[in-house]
Amino acid sequence: MKFGETFTEYLHGDQEWFLEKCSHVEYKSLKKVLKTCRSCKPLGDSCKSECQLCDQKFFSELTKEASEINGCFSSRVRHLLDLHVASGMQGYLLRLRRYFKNDQQAMVLEGRMLVEYVTMNAIAIRKILKKYDKVHCSENGRNFKSKLRAEHIELLQSPLLIELAAFYLSLNGEKKGEFNEFSSQFSCDFDATPPVMKLRLPHSIKLEYDLTCAVCLVRSFFSIAFWGNIFCFCTHSLIYVYLIMLSQDVVFNSYALSCGHLFCKSCACSSASVLIFQGLKTANPESKCPICRQVGVYAKAMHMVELDMLLKKRCKDYWKERFAAERAETTKQSKEFWDAEAKYLIGY
């Protein structure tokens, strides 16, 4: 069965009720644009690398659809995760909106449908871009993927997939394997070198996410180099110590910047030159991601609550140690900041 038929069957299948309020790739319409472009060229004429007649409609429409799909996926995943982690009055109000229901089976099913939703649309975008390049004998379709990543609307790069996986793994742990059927496609190993989360999505798509904090890793590296110079450690000893410290640099109280890179909150605040208690929202718009060097990535940073909850459950001692260290650093920064403010106001 061709993908176009598979995609149409998915849109009008059992999940049609779920997809009614969701945007999706207009795969057939985009194929018609490419067919029109192909038929308007004289027979035997060589393909051009650019076709202004269809490019304007094709890429603008695909950008719009990818943005709408990403927005729909993000809003629905955030709402689902809010229901899972909310407590007190907030949790009560959220569940009130779902008619007093807190059906975890329904939450798991919704999460599964969201994973399939984003996967099918990501495949549709990949297929139609490949078809575009074939028709035009160009690499514009491949370059368009880079544009989607730069605009943070590349579907399979969303940090919310990590949050969904952590949600499944946490919920399965709470229910002692009750949701093995759904959670088996996700795995997370905090003790690996480097720590990693693996996702096996529908249609044989496999994703891996490195859960190492790059800032912590750099600090560990320089710390090893410093002590190595003092004590003259041999190369093998340094490598051994490095591997040990690498396994301890799992992101804690993690935040995903809008470029998709993960960092500990304290490390991200340090990179953005803001204090921990001030938060990433106060970062200068010109502040850059420590890895990709993109600017303006801190304003919409996302707190990875589910990932932190999973880390707390699986690595209790490590989580407590990091929590105490971050709390002490936050208290220290807060005291120094307000002492400086008081001295400035008093005048000495």
Higher-confidence residue of 12 and 243: namely 12
136 and 268 in a common domain: no
- CATH number, domain of 253, equals 3.30.40.10
- Evaluate if residue 250 carries a pLDDT over 50: yes
| Residue 193 falls inside a structural domain | no
Would you say residue 170 has pLDDT above 70? yes
Is the pLDDT assigned to residue 264 strictly greater than 70?
Answer: yes
Quote the number of domains for the chain.
Answer: 2
Which pLDDT score is estimated for 280? 92
Does any domain span residue 229? Answer: yes
The C-alpha atoms of residue 336 and residue 342 are separated, in whole angstroms, by 10
Q: What is the dihedral of CA 114, 177, 162, 303, to 10 degrees?
A: 100
Judged against a pLDDT cut of 50, whether residue 106 lies above it is answered with: yes
Q: CA angle 148-151-156, nearest 5°?
A: 50
Integer Cα distance of 150 and 184 in angstroms: 32
Does 146 have pLDDT greater than 70? yes
Boundary residue ending a domain (178, 206, 234)? 178
Concatenated DSSP letters of 266-313:
HHHHHHTT--TTT-GGGS-TT-B-TTT--BS-STT-EE-HHHHHHHHH
Q: Which of 12-26, 231-245, 326-340 has the highest mean pLDDT?
A: 326-340
- Is 57 within the bounds of a domain? yes
Averaged pLDDT, 280-308:
92
Within this chain, do residues 219 and 145 fall inside the same structural domain, yes or no? no
42 occurs within a structural domain: no
pLDDT digit string, tens, across residues 203-234: 888 999 999 998 887 776 555 444 445 445 45
Name, in order, each residue with C-beta under 8 angstroms of 110's C-beta and a sequence gap of 6 or more.
18, 76, 80
* Whether the predicted pLDDT of 167 surpasses 80: yes
Q: 123 and 7 share a domain?
A: yes
Identify whether residues 154 and 16 lie together within a single domain. yes
Q: What pLDDT does residue 226 have?
A: 44
Residues 32, 140 within the same domain: yes
Higher pLDDT, 88 or 148: 148
For residue 145, give every residue at least 6 positions away whose Cβ sits within 8 Å of its Cβ, in sequence order, or none: 126, 129, 154
Split at pLDDT 50, 70, 90, the class of 154 is confident
- Tell me which residue range forms the domain holding 274: 214-346
Domain check: are 233 and 168 in the same one?
A: no
Are residue 150 and residue 247 in the same domain, yes or no?
no
Whether residues 158 and 218 share a domain: the answer is no
* Residue that is written with structure tokens 């943070």 in the block: 152
Q: Between these two residues, 44 and 295, which has the higher pLDDT value?
A: 295
Structural domain includes residue 209: no
β-partners of residue 254 are 264
Whether 203 is in a domain gets the answer no
Q: What is the DSSP letter of 162?
A: H
Confidence of residue 87 (pLDDT cuts 50, 70, 90): low
Asked whether residue 186 is assigned to any structural domain, the reply reads no
pLDDT for residue 46? 46
109 pLDDT more than 80? yes
Q: Which of 128, 151, 178 is the last residue of a domain?
A: 178
Do 299 and 231 have their domain in common? yes
Q: What is the pLDDT of residue 228?
A: 47
Q: Does residue 162 sit in the same domain as residue 226? A: no
φ, ψ (nearest 5 deg) of residue 57: -75, -45
Considering the domain architecture, whether residues 146 and 249 belong to the same structural domain is answered as no
**pLDDT band per the 50, 70, 90 thresholds, residue 31:** confident
CA dihedral 257, 260, 262, 266 (to 10 degrees): -10
Within-domain flag for 276: yes
Which pLDDT score is estimated for 133? 86
Domain boundary among 154, 178, 202: 178
- Do 263 and 333 share a domain, yes or no? yes
pLDDT, residue 347, reads 72
The pLDDT-based confidence of 317 (bands split at 50, 70, 90) is very high
